[in-house]
Structure 1
Amino acid sequence: MFIAKKEEPPVHKAKRANDLRVLALFTAKRNDHLVGSCHGHSKNWGINCPFYNAEFQGEIPKKFRHLSVYVYDVSNKNSKVIGKVSLKKEELYKFHQKDHWFPLTQQDGDTEVQGKVQVEVKLGEVLTSSCATDNTTHRLAVRVCECSDLTVINGSCNPYAVVSLSYGKSRNKEVKRTAVKKKTICPQFDEKFFFYFDKSNNQDKTNYAFDDFMSGELSVSLFHDDSKVSREVLGNMFKGAFLGEVKIPVREIDVSKPHIAWYCLQAKENHRSCQQPLGSLRLRISYSADYVFPSEYYNGLRELVLESSEAKHVTSSAAFILGEVVSNREDAAKPLVKLFLHHGRLVPLIHALADWEMSNTIDPNTLFRGNSLLTKMVDELMKLMGIPYLQDTLQAFIDQVVSEAKPCEIDPKRIKDGEDITANLANLFGYVTECIDNIVNSSLVCPSVMRDVFSTLKARAMLNYPDNSAVRHHAVTSFIFLRFFTAAVLSPTMFDLHSDILDAPVQRTLTLISKSISAVVNCISSKSVSSSLAKQSLLQCVRLGTMARGPALLRGIGGTMVSKYALRSTGTFLSWVQASPPVPWPD
């Protein structure tokens, strides 16, 4: 987990204040695990100092090598990487829960490497053809065995390895090269190279030469042979695209026995020292690893927690106590929902927690407004089971709003020159109506476990508040609408409804739609739907929901309401009833 905070002015000039985007990747073998993305606002820091204040969290691959954070310029259709921050897995503990400025580095083929290489090294003595008394010499045998998960360059990979040994004060260097392996990211080279250094008759020189040799460095570099002209015409004058390298100090190798090992390919070291400054990115990283034992080790704990749904007093149950002792109830809600859902005991636990929470809530208008264990568990259930349902219901609508980009601003202080506030209000009202229609028509495909939970909440509200019929609706709408549908409209990227960057006007439109639906739901759930007063209060809610600044804005739409709805919650179904005929706007 980490939080992207702010960026210092880079050399690159972005065109707009929100043109800089952050993307987080965990690099593991061939696949990059995308954690999330965000884009910032300049506020008071200038156009090249965006403030992100975005948090990404989630599970990551067990085996990863680097955490990479990329900064993009998205002022044009084709995003361009400005720079990146790349941290090794072994370095993450140094920055745990600390704000730190990281310099951006350049992204190119010399830094974007992946894969590994297997190398075998063996030092020995061999006989020579010399007539001298001591006719032996030292020889270093290096075998390039194989590679795995190399980078694909322009849709192909034709790798070959270059092996070099440098030693001595003059850094004598011998270079060897393997054959090219065509169309593979896991080449099997199995080629052996020998490096000799002569042994002098003078014992002092012998020791010196051996020590000099042992202070040397063995390098294995991988390249992609991407040019037929380079191979056949220019005699391999150009090495091709760089795939990564490994530098192994000879002194670190146990030369008393054959040494064979896998090495992760690294970027070029001399590339970093010559690049221009690109700015900095401030991050706060929290990285933790959980060690999980085999399932049978948790049998006792599992049974103890599952008994929470049958406990006489839920406050004495293991699940409730767990929600009280953790610093963040979300950390308890996630595993509890998965555990009880898997064993089919989630609804009884929700039943018990709802009874306890309702009995301890004095004002029913504040019911389920806090971050209790119950609210967190229902939130997690909707995220776990409801995302496909949410995408099926709202994704097409979100795409429509983004593609049409109709002006919907109705705040006189924010409206642009040339826009008609009455037309904007009509656009907004049309979007709100269409969004509610989509939600209405999706009621029967809502996941059954969510309907069961909402039915339980409604039944407990009717039992605990028999004299307040509005609470039964509020118990449901506070979750399915205020914490699910309207939250998804407000932040579609967080619910996987949209992946592209949203322009500021589109984000403003989605904000107005979300607030409008929230206000309508609050008005409906606060009145009895069978009362004639609900009709007039619903109209007032729409007025509030559209964020209009005065009655004149509503009269300008034509003096009639397009459609109106009443909330109906019967059995395990949640739906809306469209009323007819339309009702005139009140003066």
Structure 2
Amino acid sequence: MLTCSEPIRPDTCFLLLLLLQGFLSRRLKQSLRRTRSQPKLSRHCSIKANPTGTADTSQESLLSTGCVSSLELRMDQSVIIKPVHSSLLGQDYCFEVTTTTGTKCFSCRSAAERDKWMENLRRAVHPNKDNSRRLENVLTVWVIEAKDLPAKKRYFCELCLDDNLYARTSCKLKTDNIFWGERFDFSSLPPVASITLHLYKDTDRKRKKDKSSYVGLVNIPAAAVSGRQLVEKWYSVSTPSTLRGTGGSRPDLPGGQGGASSSVPTVRVKARYQSIVILPMEQYKEFAEYISANYLLLCSTLEASISLRAKEELAAALVHILHSTGKAKDFLTDLMMAEVDRCRDNDQLIFRENTLATKSIEEYLKLIGQKYLQDALGEFIKALYESDENCEVDPSRCAAADLAEHQANLRMCCELAFCKILDSYR
């Protein structure tokens, strides 16, 4: 629990916010400008994954008048409507529509607005969507870290699905290892056969795509990560001197320059690809009514007989279903009171065990609190994450001469974060 001797006054908070520009340094501000001014559509998600790829596409804002009227939509299975990851355009809340005549990208003011536009457009293309059986392809990818790469260089990855660029990690400096820890979620995908990570060394920005910047690739067959559970592995990087498309986890691949080094660069990736059959909506009606009326009986019956991972999946499903029907508040209240009654003689265990109750609360907090966290702290954390400011205060991991500066950096970061939270009450 965090405590302080006296609260941060509003005037102090305002001054600390003004100090943000100075503290986060020119490098951080340059990264912010780079992020915001990056929409070079030659690096758009419809391009092929090659160092010299370009794309024929346009970007429009749904906030301007008349732009949507120029979009021709037909009831055609070939129309693809999908979100565009912010790492590609340097702008949040975008989506693209691909038709036989080309691709257009649109920007929105919020994730909710983007999702509403996408859903309405999909219904315009497939008006009978809810009354037909369909297949929904979903992919989750964590690009975690890399090792055995030359030090003191900055690296980033481009994530491609069947050679189409879908996302890009941030650039990270190689010290001991490179840690990205970035998660990418994609839904409503066309069928995917392969997931490819292209690894680049960050070079001069005017020559970012030259041959010297390309390190290699990791190719993961979608079938290898299909199923209900996430698959986490270290994958060897196929360098340009090896055959393309045979990345995977081959320990025999030469590393470095043409096999001169015995160590092979590797990337740790966690992924899950699912093809989910969605039935017509009316076939879920009876099941939804049962859940709404009997969720306590369902939870008490399954609690003791399912694994922790299954509890997480079940809790997530119940929270989303009952939230959509307006019953989430009653569900959580009843589940919490049942938990209190169960632990009446061992009150030290209340909400401290891995139960359906605790997992449901965690999922509800994610569902409801995500937008607030993004609005309150998203820009600050993103800027801090992309900066080179060092906040390491473990004496065993930094030089004694740098410790005082690092401590000051950490204090300032914490104060700025608290100011952002205080300022978010509106």
Tell me the TM-score range normalised by the shorter chain.
Answer: 0.3 to 0.5
Indicate the structure whose relative CO is greater, using CA pairs within 8 Å and at least 6 residues apart.
2
Normalised to the residue count of structure 1, the TM-score between the two structures is: 0.36
Q: Which has the larger radius of gyration?
A: 1
Normalised to the residue count of structure 2, the TM-score between the two structures is: 0.48
